[in-house]
Structure 1
Amino acid sequence: MQNMTIAAIATAPGAGGIAVVRLSGPESYAVAARVFRPANPNKRVEDAKGYTALFGKFLEGEDAFDEGVALFFRAPHSYTGEDVVELSCHGGSAVARRLVESCIEAGAAPAAPGEYTRRAFLNGKLSLTQAEAVMDIISADGRQGAALANASLGGALAKKIAAEKEALTALQAHLAAWVDFPEEDVPELDEAHLQTVLGGVKDELDTLIQNYDAGAVLREGVDCAIVGRPNAGKSTLLNLLAGFDRAIVTPVAGTTRDVVEQAVRLGDIRLNLFDTAGLRDTEDLIEAEGIRRSWKKLDEAGLVLAVFDGSAPLTREDFELARKCAGRPAIALINKEDKPTQFDAEIIAPYFAMVLPVCCQEEGTRKLISSAVARLLGTNQIDPHAASLSGQRQLAAATRAREAVAGALDAAAGGFGLDAVSVCVDDALDALCDLTGENASEAVINEVFERFCVGK
């Protein structure tokens, strides 16, 4: 596949100013010459130098169907490390599709999802962690999430892991020399130095792992269930956070009978909100099914906003909801702060990470909830320019490395000998190489790139 020249639309579908069709591979210039005719008759595609552009017409056979610009990149100075030509035509699906079809007729093959970035990885232009960051930055829809992805694309995670590998490799070299060549005069490793190096690596991995969930929230958003009794103010809260009347609000209990979904941006976090049916006993089969779905959504959510009516006394349903929120990332919102308070918040407080008195009809409540959610999910502690883990593959590798380093520390403290420490350090290095992709199998590489879009 690497010796084939591939073609695909690199821009999003739909109408726009321009669309870009990208060619990559050894025949990129030859294919481009068959579908693009420079306006200057003295210019030839085959002679174009890298980092130059030509204006001209796009052809299907001898039929010119559009005009635009061709950008040229010579190997290895391109995104993929191969010869690349980017053809910019007028935006619109019909023109772009016709240009891709012309490229395929001229000898190119259709690109598979993520094939350009895959080639960049295989050609040594990107590490695997940087390749994964490409998809993260494409899908990011918040500034901090995009900044995290951009830091990884710039090599922040790769550099961090390289530093930890370097420390472990130096340690392992000393261990191996001492264990494998006892007849040589190799000094035994100083125990304090051993503890310092292993402890430092473990601390760095601990930080990466602990920040994983918050980083994932910034990149991907979080599912948030709004739950509570009827008329507590759930739909009013949804409308406040959405910024428009997304849900119907009436004083009639049972107005919301099914889960209402709405994506909103709350500060730097995208919340996928789910307004649920009011929790109460009912003989209405339709409402009962809605309530069953409410409990299910609470169990699945990464964040729970439990709304309580502060103008009414605490009920059995309120207490049952509080108990179900125990141990979960949940905030209790005591609504209707503008009315006389009859609700005893101290009774439910032990079951929640935070308890906030609010009025879901006031705009200031949005900012209050935004700040509370950022504190609860840890996103306010994230440095968007620091190294961060992305995806379960990276997390699993980092966790294996951390456990191996912890095993090395235990072996050293338990007097099991430096050979046992050496085995654990080897395991840690293997896990870190898995994380960066140096040991990546074909199956792992396929798994990484299968979630990419075509054209990237």
Structure 2
Amino acid sequence: MEHLHTTICALATPPGEGGIATVRVSGPDAYGIVGKIFAPVRQGKSVADAKGYTAMLGHYLLHGAEMDECVALFFRAPHSYTGEDVIELSVHGGTAMADGLLEALITAGCAPAGPGEFTRRALENGRMSLTQAEAVMEVIAANGRQGAALAKSALDGRLAKRIGKIQTALQTLNAHLTAWVDYPEEDVPELSDAAFVGTLTEQKAALDALISGYSAGAVLRHGVDCVLLGRPNVGKSTLLNLLAGFDRAIVTPVAGTTRDIVEQAVQLGSVRLNLFDTAGVREVGADGDAIEAEGIRRSWRKLDEAGLVLAVFDAAQPLSDDDLELARRCQGRPAIAVLNKQDLAGETDVPRGTLEPYFKKIVPMCARDAVGLQALTDAVADLLGTAQLDPEAAQLCSARQLAAATRARDALAEAIAARQNGFGLDAAAVCLTDALQALFDLTGENASDATIEEVFETFCVGK
């Protein structure tokens, strides 16, 4: 941990124009370095004597020249984000003043911080667990309030506590098992099969619940790629405009108006949809418009990539061969059939029974005046699992965590199977040890340097 002996600095706010720009300084010589380049407005004040959780107004100096007005916030170790001495310096927003402040700090002895280095120091100084460190970027990247609440619950340590309960139960079981096997002369009570398998089954169920919530949690935090598909003139672009809240796509009665994919991010309830409006899918034939044909090929390709499909049908017309081909391609996918133009539909148009085998949900609506939009919102939340997810209950928030939890769950399943198939407790004990090791990997209690690097490679500089 040689890098912990250096004092680092970085811009902690986004670069560019803004009200303020904040530069964070952390390390053993934070007060000494800032003292060289910060001139307090009030006489008798000094950086060296500043107490933690106080602020001071002054100016920063660059090569001895007084520059921008600057507010310094002081934190004393260990009561800071990193657990070290930390000072946050705020100047007027804009590139020039922030760059000048960084130049002054580096000239005075600071080293530029690497990606995630402040949070990494917080981890190494015991200020947070590995799962909390991972949650930092999740909070920053979260889209929507529920996604932010989900990420914050992990940042608050609730995920570590949830995993900790599973670990404690398994460690207690493992200790009992080890004592009974290794010290037969000590009169340790024998583990009954019912108690042993019961504990394993209970903890496996807890891991199953975490694993099953991962996809829905990822949707709440980051959104989902959603493709709008349908033959020409069923109302795809009208639906896009409704969801976007403005006329994002051109709408005409002419088939083939949308030639390429139109992208738009929209918020549908608690879910952010990265929405792709596609060319109307139909059979154009060998002599058809080459540009439209290429647009249709791209539409089908987007179907393969999407995490959610909204297949739009004209409820006022019978299903065509193109409609049925779309329905067949949606089978087995996370797809919702949107029966648009309900205001024009008769009782016999578009039989729902024809579409039900191919879709998870069917939603009648009118995209022109928002009738049925709430039903679509509810259907999307139910299909993606976000309706069942409690944003206050911590969830797994990275592929690394998911992989570790899955290894632990699978090891417990093997331990249960070993006992049920008549193998000895020693065989089940090996599986139990593997499960505990996977949970230690998840929480970072014995994380390798490679695991730490994997976590921090996605971090931004300044955090």
Give your verdict on TM over 0.5. Answer: yes
Match of 2:102 in 1: 100
SS in 1 for 2:338: strand
Q: TM-score, normalised by structure 2?
A: 0.97
TM-aligned CA deviation for residue 205 of structure 1: 0.5
Gaps of 5+ in 2: none
Q: Which of 339, 350, 356 does residue 349 from structure 1 map onto?
A: 356
Q: Which residue of 2 aligns with 1:395?
A: 402
Q: Deviation of residue 180 (structure 1)?
A: 2.0
The within-5 A match list for 1:10-409 is: 10-282=12-284, 283-341=288-346, 342-409=349-416
Alpha-carbon distance in structure 1 between the residues aligned to 2:51 and 2:192: 57
Q: Does the CA contact (< 8 Å) of 1:265 and 1:271 recur in 2?
A: yes
Q: 1:286-335 CA distances to partner (integer Å, 9 max, x unpaired)? A: 11111111011011100000001111111111111111111111100111
Asked if 1 retains the 8 angstrom alpha-carbon contact of 2:4 and 2:121, the reply is yes
Kept in 2: contact 1:129–1:435 (CA 8 A): yes
SS at match of 1:45: coil
Please state how far the C-alpha of 1:367 moved relative to its aligned partner. 2.0
Post-superposition CA distance 1:105-150 (Å, at most 9, x none): 1110111111101111111111010001110001112000000011
More deviation in 59-68 or 394-403?
59-68
Aligned partners of 2:254, 2:329: CA distance in 1, in Å? 25
* AA partner of residue 338 (structure 2): L
Aligned length: 456
Q: CA deviation at 1:366?
A: 2.5
SS in 2 for 1:226: strand
Question: Contact between 1:326 and 1:352, CA under 8 Å: does it hold in 2?
Answer: yes
- Deviating runs (4+, > 6 A) in structure 1? none
Q: Any idea what the Cα deviations from partners look like across 1:387-439, whole Å, max 9, x if unmatched?
A: 20001101010011001111111112222011011101100000001111112
CA distance in 1, matches of 2:63, 2:281: 67
Distance in 1 between residues matched to 2:394 and 2:177, nearest whole Å: 29
SS at 2:276's partner residue?
Answer: strand
**8 Å Cα contact 1:408/1:422 also seen in 2:** yes
Structure 1 gaps of 5+ residues are none
- Using the aligned pairs only, state the percent identity: 63
AA aligned opposite 1:246: R
TM-score (norm 1): 0.98
Q: Which residue identity does 2:149 align to in structure 1?
A: A
Distance 1:264 1:433 in 2: 39
> Aligned partners of 1:190 and 1:327: how far apart in 2?
44
Q: CA deviation at 1:206?
A: 0.7
Amino acid across the alignment from 1:314:
L
Q: CA RMSD in A?
A: 1.1
Alpha-carbon deviation of 1:237? 0.5
Partner of 1:429: 436
CA–CA distance in structure 2, aligned partners of residues 20 and 35 of structure 1: 15
Report the residue type matching 2:59 in the other structure: K
SS in 2 for 1:406: helix
CA deviation string 1:18-65 (max 9, x = no partner): 111100011111110111111122122112121122111111122111
Contact 1:113 1:454 in 2 (8 A): yes
Match of 1:89, SS state, is strand
**SS of match in other structure, 2:210:** helix
2:176 maps to a residue whose letter is H
CA distance in 2, matches of 1:450, 1:35: 32
Of 190-199 and 162-171, more deviation after overlay is shown by 190-199
* Cα distance in 2 between the residues matched to 1:26 and 1:208: 40
Deviations 1:369-394 (A, max 9, x none): 11110111111111111120001101
What is the DSSP-based 3-state SS (H/G/I as helix, E as strand, rest coil) of the residue aligned with 1:56? strand
Of the three residues 427, 450, 460, the one matched with 1:443 is 450
